[in-house]
Amino acid sequence: MPAGHSPLRYSAPAIALHWLLALMIVVSFGVGLFMSDLPLSPTRLKLFNWHKWAGVTILALSGLRLLWRLTHKPPPAPAMPAWQACVGQATHVLLYALFFVVPLVGWAYSSAAGLPIVWFGLLPLPDFVPVDKLLAEAIKPWHERSAMLMAGLVLLHLAGAIKHQWLDRDGLIQRMLPGRD
């Protein structure tokens, strides 16, 4: 058995990807909310670039996380009512989908708006769609709505983890905490 992994815990790479993506998504969401109300300025432009870089990184790490998840069986969940297991599974599936949808729609918006993405200022990424201001205006709300949906699902995920930790006391959260063997 690999170090840091037991039959009741996720593997170390799965745990690292979970927490890294969680941090990046929360920070990127906060930056997105903050920057959207700023007037046009060097600070706003810097934050937009950082937000786009974070989105591309989240997209790449999500691909890695999905690949890891598809090739590594998760630990068994503790016993729970079927409806809770169903809600948990649906939340995870929707979150995984949004890990891809939110950055891809953001990339499409940037492309349509004629705002290229140069990842970390080094790697120019191809336009996802042609430059078209009307298309950009149509896409923009979908990026915002999908990000809000993801934020709501993150809160539901967090509420479920807290419920399992403090009410059920069933050890579910220990499966994803680092360094707890």
**Contacts for 39-44: CB closer than 8 Å, 24+ residues apart:** none
The set of residues, in sequence order, having a beta carbon less than 8 Å from that of 29 and lying 6+ positions away, is 147, 150, 151
Say what the pTM is. 0.91
Give the count of beta carbons closer than 10 Å to the beta carbon of residue 62. 22
Integer Rg of the chain from CA: 18
Q: Quick: pLDDT tens for 109-124.
A: 999 999 999 999 999 9
| pLDDT recorded at residue 180 | 55
Residues 6+ apart with CB under 8 A from 6: 75, 181
Alpha helices in the chain (DSSP H): 12-36, 42-71, 82-112, 133-162
Lowest mean pLDDT among 41-45, 66-70, 175-179: 175-179
Rounded Cα distance between 161 and 165, Å, is 6
